[in-house]
Structure formats: C-alpha cells, structure tokens
Homo-oligomer: A and B are copies of this chain.
Amino acid sequence: MAGIKDVADRAGLSIATVSRALSGKANVSAKSRKLAKAAAEELGFVPSYHASSLASGRNHNVGLVLPSVHRWYFSSVLEGVSETLLDAGYDLTLYNVGDQPARRQSVLKDFLLRKRLDAVIAVALVLTDDEIQQLLAVHRPIVGIGGALAGASTLRINDSGLSRLATNHLIQLGHTRIAHLTGDPALNQEFKLPGIRQAGFVAAMKDAGLPVRPEWQISADFTIQGAYASARKLLGLGTERPTAVFAASDEMAIGTILAARDFGLRVPEDLSVIGMDGHELGDVFGLTTIDQDARGQGALAARLLLETLDAGIPGDGREARSAAPPTATDREYPTELIIRTSTAVPPSALS
C-alpha cells in the first residue's frame, strides 16, 4: 500500500535517496540510510516488483524448464536450483512442460520470451537452433543441464562414457549375457539421453566381443513401475535369461530388482543389476550405480547463472553490452561409481 513516496516523506528525504538507501547503493550517508530504513519498516513498505524491474531491467527471476517433476532426476535438479536461487534472493519460475510438444512450444514462445526472466535453465531439453537463437536474442543467458544445447552453456555428465563404465563393470565381473533397459523410444525424440546411454552400452559390448541381443534391449518410461513391467517380460522369457541388467536409471534398476524378486531370482546371486543416477533408494536395495548428484548439478547450474548475472549482463541493453560474447562453456559434472551389493559374479562362475 505504501509507496516509496510515502517513505520519502516520512523520512524527510527525497525519493531518489530513499531508493538508493534501501537498495544498498553507495553515496548515501549512514544517517539517511538509517532514516530511510526506519521509515520503510514503520510503513511496511515493500518495493513493487514490477516497477523496479521495469525501471532497472533486472528481474531477479530465473526460469527452469523441465519435462517432468515426478521423476527422481528432475525433482532433484529442481531442488538444487530452487535452494540456490532462493538463497540468492531470486525467484524461480517453473515450466513443467511434460512430454507434450505443444506445451513446450507455447512455453518457449509465450512465456520465456516475455522479458520477465533474467536467465533460463533447461533440463534434458533438446532445443532447436532456432529456439536457442530466439532466447539468446533477448539477451538471456541459458544453461542446459543434461542436454545438448548448441550455442548455450551446458552442464552434463558423460552419458556415453558412463554407460560404458557401467557395462564394463558387469563384463569385468564375468557377465556375458547382459541386458539393457533403456528409455522409451518416444522419449528419445525430445530428449536424446536414452539413445546415448544405449550407444555406450552397445559400444562396450562390442569392444568386449559380446553379443548384443535385440530381445534383451528393452525399454520403459524411466519409472519404477514401468521398468517393473518391462523387466517382468524380460525375465519371463521362456528362453535363456540374462545374468545381468544395466538399467539406464536407478528407478528402472529398482523396478528390475523388484521384478526379479517376484520371480524368485536373487540379486545378485541369480541376477546382477546396475543402475545410473544416485537415487536415495539405492541404499535400501543395495543398488550398484553411478552417482551423478542431480541436486548438485542443479545447484551448480544456478550458481553459474547467478555469477553471469552478477557480472552485469542483464538489463535491456542499457548497460554496456559486455564485449565478450556469452562464452558457451560445456562442463562435465563429476560422477562416482558406487558399488553396493546388487552386482556380483554371474551364477555360472560359482557352480
């Protein structure tokens, strides 16, 4: 209700001085600052977000675009981003676009471009060059997590290499009959991840001279329940059974373990399972996995963005456009192979 004018009157100062005092700018005497703060406090003054953004060109607001909020990876990233942003005094605008291309379109077009965001973090989203250019044209830094964004900064793990690592772990244990549980082909359109991980698996198998059986390459929707259903089919095949499964996510690995248990298969004695993620439930299932600290990734992405912003990019072009073009860095986030008890030598090696 109270505007800055009221505060100025009450403090016996000008609007300009009050504005400077409250936003912590220089060139304000200690006395005036105290006066202004006191008056603002008494009146319960809270600066209007829109007015200040309009005038300063700074939003203190970062957009986060996600394909889902339910799956572990995404909610973890969200958590990391959210915490970092909140602590820095930034708002987080969430665009949960789901897997519907239509929604994704409208988000990009109608929402992101409206100059209301200082920056955008896109998770596992494959944007077209055009889309990226549009965003960059509005002078908004973008960072992509786990997705390939040509022209924008990205933060990701070495999906292909880590898939090889996981597969090799199984191979080194002596497994030869290894199945791979990957993401749904449908998901592959917008998010190329599943394909990349699968490629890593295939490469590792080839390198080891092991056969890649088509019927042992199954897919699911990245959820526990989806993987459970798929794994039942795999393990229920009348024919020969794999001795190990590499699942493209921990959730799918857990679904596999549950399916195995239901079939009376012991993990790891009868079936080894390795996942990829670092899901909190991994402990309960003794799941061997590759921890990618999704939450940390989110936090780091947010921090990088904030640094860029603090360096003085934003504005609507009023600030001296920094001569340096927005250097699009591509960082690899560190991961860790966590060996628990879901992987062991294959049964044949025992008997």
A: which residues have CB within 8 A of B?
1, 46-51, 53-54, 59, 61, 69-70, 75-76, 78-79, 82-83, 86-87, 89, 91-98, 103, 106-107, 110-111, 113-116, 137, 223-225, 228, 255, 258, 261, 280-281, 283-284, 317
Instruction: Compute how far the CA of A103 lies from the CA of B89 in the bound complex, rounded to whole angstroms.
Output: 11
Instruction: Compute how far the CA of A79 lies from the CA of B96 in the bound complex, rounded to whole angstroms.
Output: 8
Checking B83, B89, B94, B225 against A92 with a beta-carbon cut-off of 8 angstroms, the contacting residue is: B94
Contact, CB under 8 Å: B228 / A284: yes
The 5 closest A-B pairs by CB, nearest first: A49-B116, A82-B96, A50-B54, A49-B114, A50-B53
A225 contact set on B, CB distance < 8 A: 280-281, 283-284
User: Known: A69-B69, A79-B69. Is A49-B115 also a contact (CB below 8 A)?
Assistant: yes
Instruction: Compute how far the CA of A267 lies from the CA of B4 in the bound complex, rounded to whole angstroms.
Output: 65
Checking B49, B82, B93, B114 against A46 with a beta-carbon cut-off of 8 angstroms, the contacting residue is: B114
A97 contact set on B, CB distance < 8 A: 86
Min CB distance A298 to B, Å, is 11
Contact, CB under 8 Å: A93 / B95: no
Show 13 A/B contacts (Cβ-Cβ < 8 Å), sorted by A: A46-B113, A48-B115, A50-B51, A50-B53, A61-B93, A69-B79, A69-B82, A86-B95, A86-B96, A86-B103, A93-B94, A225-B283, A255-B284
A98 contact set on B, CB distance < 8 A: 83
Of all chain B residues, the one with the shortest Cβ separation from A139 is B1
A76 contact set on B, CB distance < 8 A: 70
Instruction: Compute how far the CA of A255 lies from the CA of B281 in the bound complex, rounded to whole angstroms.
Output: 10
Checking B61, B114, B317 against A47 with a beta-carbon cut-off of 8 angstroms, the contacting residue is: B114
Min CB distance A68 to B, Å, is 8
Contact, CB under 8 Å: A284 / B224: yes
Checking B75, B96, B107, B223 against A70 with a beta-carbon cut-off of 8 angstroms, the contacting residue is: B75
Of all chain B residues, the one with the shortest Cβ separation from A95 is B86
Contact, CB under 8 Å: B89 / A91: no
A48 contact set on B, CB distance < 8 A: 54, 114-115
Of all chain B residues, the one with the shortest Cβ separation from A114 is B49
Min CB distance A115 to B, Å, is 5
A103 contact set on B, CB distance < 8 A: 86-87
Checking B69, B83, B317 against A75 with a beta-carbon cut-off of 8 angstroms, the contacting residue is: B69
Instruction: Compute how far the CA of A79 lies from the CA of B98 in the bound complex, rounded to whole angstroms.
Output: 9
A83 contact set on B, CB distance < 8 A: 96, 98
User: Known: A70-B79, A78-B96, A83-B96. Is A281-B49 also a contact (CB below 8 A)?
Assistant: no
Of all chain B residues, the one with the shortest Cβ separation from A54 is B50
A110 contact set on B, CB distance < 8 A: 89
A261 contact set on B, CB distance < 8 A: 261
Min CB distance A20 to B, Å, is 19
Of all chain B residues, the one with the shortest Cβ separation from A82 is B96
Instruction: Compute how far the CA of A285 lies from the CA of B51 in the bound complex, rounded to whole angstroms.
Output: 53
Contact, CB under 8 Å: A86 / B70: no
Instruction: Compute how far the CA of A315 lies from the CA of B154 in the bound complex, rounded to whole angstroms.
Output: 40
Instruction: Compute how far the CA of A41 lies from the CA of B228 in the bound complex, rounded to whole angstroms.
Output: 48
A79 contact set on B, CB distance < 8 A: 69-70, 96
Min CB distance A273 to B, Å, is 15
